[in-house]
Amino acid sequence: MLRAAAKNHADVTVAIDPADYPTILEQIRTYGDTLPVTRFELAGKVFEHTAAYDALIASYFRSQRDGAEMPSSLTMTYDLQAAMRYGENPHQRAWLYQDAIPCAGSLPLAKQINGKELSYNNIADTDAAVALLKEFDQPAVVAVKHANPCGVACAEDVLRAWEKAFEADPVSIYGGIVAANRTIDAETAAAIKPVFLEVLIAPGFTPEALEILTAKKNLRILVLPDIALPIPAGTFAIKKILGGILVQDQDTQVFDPEQLRTVTHALPDPARAADLEFAMKVVKHVKSNAVVLVKDLQTVGIGAGQPNRIGSLKIAIGNAGEKTKGSIMGSDAFFAYRDCVDAAYEAGVRMIIQPGGSIRDEEYVKVCNEYGIAMLFTGMRHFRH
């Protein structure tokens, strides 16, 4: 009925938002009827409302068809959560919309309990931190700067995980975003307090921790109880392009253990198996070309977003310094040239894990055999653009 009334807006006033009632009543009192321009605007709001309703129903039916082909026309609906001060830059307008059916463990469901209003960049970077945090079951802390991880660590408790994540890159973490998958206690809060952060998000904070952290009036503190929940199956990653969108499955895999194979004479140290998986969990969240160096469930060097892989590796090595020695190198895609193997060996890397698949794989295996480096192929690429 709403839709039918809106189709006849030339003669019918249709209202779905109580906020419009005062305008409607005032115009009727003044003019004896609503103005044509008002009826036109109200009809537009109705069509937006009914379109969102239909899109929700279509989305539900689509979700019930496991493995179904994507529809020829894709309809989605989101609810406005906030108008932002500005976008990536002050001259850009911006808004935050959330899924009409909220997704558990997602950032729009977080509750802010301290600090200034979240900016567009705060939200984008915090979402990147939360996505990486979801890779880990053990206590973990993720630090992100400009949508790239700069320090990631797992440990026996959240305090040690924080200390390791901070040690990984104490320079880049300045002004960054930090996410933890365990409740922040007073001891951890005291360790975090001296560091300037834009956002701190965790499943909870003890009262003592909040007393310490809320003394920093500008620190944005977010609580997301379900932060560790994995990304739900069947969800999509969407990228807007001019004139359309790109839609793909979320990259929820790391590698298939049955496809993992050692291709060198040197065998990986079984005691470092967790580091190998840790490296690939992190590298899949780093902008391609991506290289990470890890040791003892801690990133010691991260290279991101360079137009060639050796450039990313040099950045990672430069950040790691002496910590490169004995580290594991993870790469999001295969090597184009042997320069990455040479540079890794010279820096002290002793194990490499990468997807494989290059026409030069045999050459790289031979070089690794000469150097005594163990190299593993996962068979699974993790580009992130």
Known catalytic residues? 7, 146
- Cα gap 7→24, rounded to integer Å: 18
3-state secondary structure of 3: helix
- Cα gap 11→8, rounded to integer Å: 6
What CA dihedral angle connects 136, 138, 139 and 140, to 10 degrees? -30
Would you say 354 and 306 are in contact if contact means Cβ atoms under 8 Å apart? no
Main-chain phi, psi angles of 110, to 5 degrees: -70, 150
- Cα gap 288→150, rounded to integer Å: 14
Partners of 53 in the β-ladder: none
Q: Which two tokens stand for residue 273?
A: 């198996």
Q: Which amino acid is at 325?
A: K
Partners of 248 in the β-ladder: 237
What CA dihedral angle connects 15, 21, 24 and 27, to 10 degrees? 180
Angle at 264 (CA atoms; ends 364, 254), nearest 5 degrees: 85
The end-to-end CA distance of the chain, in Å, is: 45
